[in-house]
Structure 1
Amino acid sequence: MEKVIVLGTGPAGLTAAIYLARANMKPVVIEGDEPGGQLTLTTEVENFPGFETGIMGPELINNMRKQAERFGAEFKRGWVTEADFSSKPFKLKVEGLGEVLTEALIISTGASAKMLNIPGEKELLGQGVSTCATCDGFFFRQKKVVVIGGGDSAMEEATFLTKFADEVEIVHRRHELRASKIMQERAKQNNKIKWNLNKTPIEVLGDGKKVTGLKVKDNDTGEEHIIETDGIFVAIGHKPNTGFLNGQLETDEVGYIIVKPGSTKTNVPGVFACGDVQDNQYRQAITAAGTGCMAALDAERYLEGHATQDWSQTL
Structure 2
Amino acid sequence: MSENILDVVIIGSGCAGHTAAIYAARANLNPLVFEGHEPGGQLSLTSSVENYPGFPEGINGFELMDRMKKQASSFGAKYVMEVIKEVDLQQRPFKISAEGGEYLAQTLIIASGARAKLLDIPGEKEFFGKTVSTCATCDGALYRDKTVIVVGGGDTAMEDATFLTRFAKEVHLVHRRDKFRASKIMQDRALNNPKITVHWNSAVTEICGEGNNVSHVRLAKHPKGSPAQKLQEHDGNAESAGVTIDEFKCDGVFIAIGHIPNIEFLHGKLATNNDGYIVPSHNDANCASCDVETAIPGVFAAGDVVDWQFQQAVTAAGMGCKAAMAAEEFLSHQTPES
**Is 1:77 matched with 2:84?**
no
Q: 1:257 to 1:198 in 2, by over 3 A?
A: closer
Q: Which residue identity is paired with 2:43?
A: L
Residue number among 232, 235, 258 corresponding to 1:237 in the alignment: 258
Tell me by how many angstroms 1:243 deviates: 1.2
Tell me by how many angstroms 1:166 deviates: 3.5
Residue number among 15, 19, 26 corresponding to 2:30 in the alignment: 26
Q: 1:292 to 1:123 in 2, by over 3 A?
A: closer
Matches of 1:39 and 1:282 in 2, distance apart?
14
Give yes or no for contact 2:15–2:40 (8 Å, CA) kept in 1. yes
Match of 1:122 in 2: 133
- Same amino acid, percent of matched pairs: 43
Q: 1:252 to 1:161 in 2, by over 3 A?
A: same
Could you say what secondary structure the match of 2:207 adopts?
strand
**Is 1:163 matched with 2:188?**
yes
Aligned length: 272
**Is 1:216 matched with 2:217?**
yes
| TM-score, with structure 1 as normaliser | 0.75
Could you say what secondary structure the match of 1:72 adopts?
coil
Q: Which residue identity is paired with 1:164?
A: R
Could you say what secondary structure the match of 2:248 adopts?
strand
Q: Which residue identity is paired with 1:132?
A: T
1:22-77 alpha-carbon deviations (Å, 9 max, x no partner): 11111111111111110111111111111121111111000000000000001112
Unpaired segments ≥5 residues, structure 1? 169-191, 205-212, 307-315
Matches of 1:22 and 1:243 in 2, distance apart?
30
Matches of 2:191 and 2:23 in 1, distance apart?
43
Tell me by how many angstroms 1:141 deviates: 8.8
Give yes or no for contact 1:11–1:292 (8 Å, CA) kept in 2. yes
Could you say what secondary structure the match of 1:92 adopts?
strand
Tell me by how many angstroms 1:159 deviates: 6.9
Matches of 2:86 and 2:177 in 1, distance apart?
32
Residue number among 298, 302, 308 corresponding to 2:330 in the alignment: 302
Match of 2:52 in 1: 48
Residue number among 311, 317, 329 corresponding to 1:283 in the alignment: 311
Q: 1:151 to 1:111 in 2, by over 3 A?
A: farther
Give yes or no for contact 1:80–1:92 (8 Å, CA) kept in 2. yes
Unpaired segments ≥5 residues, structure 2? 141-149, 221-237, 239-243
| Aligned-residue RMSD, C-alpha | 3.4
Q: 1:146 to 1:289 in 2, by over 3 A?
A: farther
Q: 1:147 to 1:79 in 2, by over 3 A?
A: same
Give yes or no for contact 1:141–1:165 (8 Å, CA) kept in 2. no
Matches of 1:123 and 1:53 in 2, distance apart?
26
Tell me by how many angstroms 1:148 deviates: 4.3
Q: How does 1:170-181 map to 2 (within 5 A)?
A: none
Residue number among 98, 101, 104 corresponding to 1:101 in the alignment: 104
Matches of 1:79 and 1:222 in 2, distance apart?
43
Q: Which residue identity is paired with 2:133?
A: K
Q: How does 1:126-205 map to 2 (within 5 A)?
A: 126=137, 127-128=139-140, 132-133=156-157, 139=163, 145-148=171-174, 150=176, 155-157=180-182, 161-166=186-191, 193-195=198-200, 197=202, 199-200=204-205, 202=207
Match of 1:184 in 2: none
Matches of 1:195 and 1:228 in 2, distance apart?
20
| TM-score, with structure 2 as normaliser | 0.70
Q: 1:265 to 1:48 in 2, by over 3 A?
A: same
